[in-house]
Amino acid sequence: MSLLSSCTSGGCGAKIGPGELGDILSALKIKNDPALLVGFGGRDDAAVYALGENQALVSTVDFFSPMVEDPFLFGKIAAANALSDIYAMGGKPLFALNLACFPEKMDKGILGEILAGGAAKALEADTAIAGGALDLRS
């Protein structure tokens, strides 16, 4: 099974359109927090939360389908895309959180290559990687 054949849509094609998503989101009741400078109402790719007068935390998460067959390259593209959301908000990436949705029947080595590509891009951006499982019993 190839990387691309495991997906039914690619890139932003996997996302719900803004009109339909707006209808769904408008029905939600959410807390209003004045420290949330860019939040739910902005429908942005990132959130910005004020930590003080001169400091804010920019947070974002991305999920999208592969658009290339090479797993390492896809990992680099995915990480670059996520990092660009931080840069677009004027932020400096401090760490990246690994999130993966991966078909059970695919070779886990492919997932390793995707994550290695992401790690390479994060290292290039001087950004730490967080997330994943860790067995602390040993």
Sheet holding 47-50, edge to edge: 36-38, 47-50, 56-59
Tokens for 91, please give them.
Answer: 């932020």
Residues paired with 85 in a beta bridge: none
Q: Which two tokens stand for residue 96?
A: 């990246």
Active site residues: 12
Instruction: With beta carbons less than 8 A apart as the criterion, state whether 130 and 98 touch.
Output: yes
